[in-house]
Structure 1
Amino acid sequence: MDLNTVRAVIPASAAGRWRAGDAWLAGGTYLFSEPQQHLHRLLDLTGEGWPALTVTPRGLEIAATCTISELAAIVPVPHQMIPGELVRQCCAAFLASFKIWNVATVGGNLCTALPAGPMISLGAALDGTCLLRTPAGDSRELPVTEFVTGAGTTALVPGEFLRSMTLPAPALRCRTAFRKGSLFPLGRSAALLIGRTDAVDGSFVLTVTASTVRPVQFRFDAVPPPGTLRQAVADGIPAEVYVDDVHGLPAWRRHLTLVFAEQIRTELAERSTP
């Protein structure tokens, strides 16, 4: 879509002082999908030259400008158990064509903060941390679970942009289980749950996304016994946190969440048994 109120597209490094009417531009799949009458300048982050994927002692750093196709092509790295299967499952949850995969970015999916955003699911499930920066160079870090605050809302303040998301090394070595449900085979995610168990200490984490307006996590010292996880999820997600839209009613999303949670618990319990 043409944005007829935008008067300039400039490199982010030349943005200078942030102004009302500015927006950061990466893939632009959301920005150009509907009218943006309030925007007058787009500050292009794609020319900053950030490496898409960087392995560091902390884990895997994913640039905000990393495209979905670049992330989906990830390969195992020596001394790191990069969860390639989980990455590909989350990328496939877009249900988008290769054209979108080659343009849409990890950062854009996080910042749009749609409940069904699979990069939110990936980052939250693996205890990802968002690095936020201002044009002046100031920075701060937030867990993905705190970065996304609601349906379409984030912790970004005016002038801030997402520089990268880092997935910590310990989480990358965990066993994972993935479940996704929607109204139609090629429909938007109505519930997307990811569980993981730590191969070292046996701890268990379940992350609920898509059925809820923001990521919700449940942590246990070990894979919980039957019934315990279901009760924790039933009690731990208030009714108002479930999404209510044309892609699924809250009661149905809650049902899917409870079913998937138990399936994940069972799968990881079996895989953790010697």
Structure 2
Amino acid sequence: MDLNTITAVIRPHGRDDLPAWQAGDAVLGGGTWLFSEPQPHLRRLIDLTACAWEPVEAGSAGLSIAATCTLAALDAFAAGAHGWSALALAGPCCRALYGSFKILNQATVGGNLCLALPAGPMTALCAALDGICLIWTPGGGERPVPVLDFVTDAGVNALRPGEILRRIDLPARTLARRAAFRQVALSPEGRSGALLIGTRDTDGAFDLTVTAATRRPVRLAFDALPDEAALAVALDGAVPAALWYDDVHGRPDWRRHVAVRLALEIRRELAR
């Protein structure tokens, strides 16, 4: 869709080139949502693709994913041999977007996070793997925000005016965990109604991250694998009624039901 209110497109090649933020600005990464519907309030786009950030960088501390990394690039990287078992989650999470190959080659990890839709699969992936968002603040500063705290509600994120999501860091200790993925939608090509990820450490610690079914990510952490009854009770206690999401892709009671079912499936898989 043409955005006919845009009067300027700024293409910074680095942080020093970023313009001062003003009303009517929007950051452009992949643009798959930005160009999907009218944006009459926008006047200027700041195109971050000209910064040419390395999409994915691996090191002893873990993985750094640029905000401009496409889902296709992340999927391709994760398909390689990196010695991190939980990185296998990237493939199913990328495909849980249910976009065409054109969308997957254009949509970005950072854009999916910033959009803050409950069904955002990059939110699920990065929250489950203890991701930390590195945010550039106006004036040259930066601040880290856990992905679990970055998405604060449906369509709402923690960015303040003029702030830019630079990258997401995933720690090696979490990437080394065993992991299990479950996702369900009302139709084969529908938006996720529930997307859950479980991880288990070598010491037996178990974490469960719930997304899509809830307005924001929810994390349950256990020192040891709970039994099925305890897990179901804990999940009910962690998600108050108002936090279950309600839209055309699923009623709250259905989302709660399938979330519990998927949580138990994940527990059984990681109990082996």
The TM-score normalised by the length of structure 1 is 0.95
Listed one character per residue, the Cα deviations across residues 131-185 of structure 1 (whole Å, up to 9, x for unaligned) are: 0003432100010000000000001000001000011100100101111011001
Alignment of 1:204-215 (within 5 A): 204-215=206-217
Listed one character per residue, the Cα deviations across residues 175-201 of structure 1 (whole Å, up to 9, x for unaligned) are: 0111101100111000000000012x2
Are residues 82 and 138 of structure 1, via their aligned partners in 2, closer, same or farther at CA, if it must alter by over 3 Å? farther
Listed one character per residue, the Cα deviations across residues 48-79 of structure 1 (whole Å, up to 9, x for unaligned) are: 1210000133210000000011001014455x
Are residues 248 and 140 of structure 1, via their aligned partners in 2, closer, same or farther at CA, if it must alter by over 3 Å? same
Q: CA RMSD in A?
A: 1.2
Are residues 44 and 82 of structure 1, via their aligned partners in 2, closer, same or farther at CA, if it must alter by over 3 Å? farther
Contact 2:29 2:68 in 1 (8 A): yes
Task: Supply the distance in 2 between the matched residues of 1:202 and 1:76 (Cα, whole angstroms).
Answer: 27
Aligned partner of 1:85 in structure 2 is 88
Task: Supply the distance in 2 between the matched residues of 1:184 and 1:219 (Cα, whole angstroms).
Answer: 31
Structure 2: stretches of 5+ with no match in the other structure: none
1:122 to 122, 125, 136: 125
Aligned partner of 2:244 in structure 1 is 242
Are residues 33 and 100 of structure 1, via their aligned partners in 2, closer, same or farther at CA, if it must alter by over 3 Å? same
Aligned partner of 1:265 in structure 2 is 267
Contact 2:133 2:145 in 1 (8 A): yes
Are positions 1:3 and 2:3 aligned together? yes
Q: How many residues align?
A: 268
Task: Supply the distance in 2 between the matched residues of 1:39 and 1:15 (Cα, whole angstroms).
Answer: 17
Structure 1: stretches of 5+ with no match in the other structure: none
Aligned partner of 1:152 in structure 2 is 155
Listed one character per residue, the Cα deviations across residues 29-55 of structure 1 (whole Å, up to 9, x for unaligned) are: 111111111111100100112100001
Alignment of 1:28-47 (within 5 A): 28-47=31-50
Identical aligned pairs, as a percentage? 54
Task: Supply the distance in 1 between the matched residues of 2:204 and 2:213 (Cα, whole angstroms).
Answer: 27
SS in 2 for 1:83: helix
Aligned partner of 1:251 in structure 2 is 253
Runs of 4 or more, structure 1, over 4 Å off, are: none
AA in 2 matched with 1:265: R
1:23 to 14, 23, 26: 26
Alignment of 1:168-187 (within 5 A): 168-187=171-190
Contact 1:76 1:82 in 2 (8 A): no
Contact 1:15 1:135 in 2 (8 A): no
Contact 1:76 1:84 in 2 (8 A): no
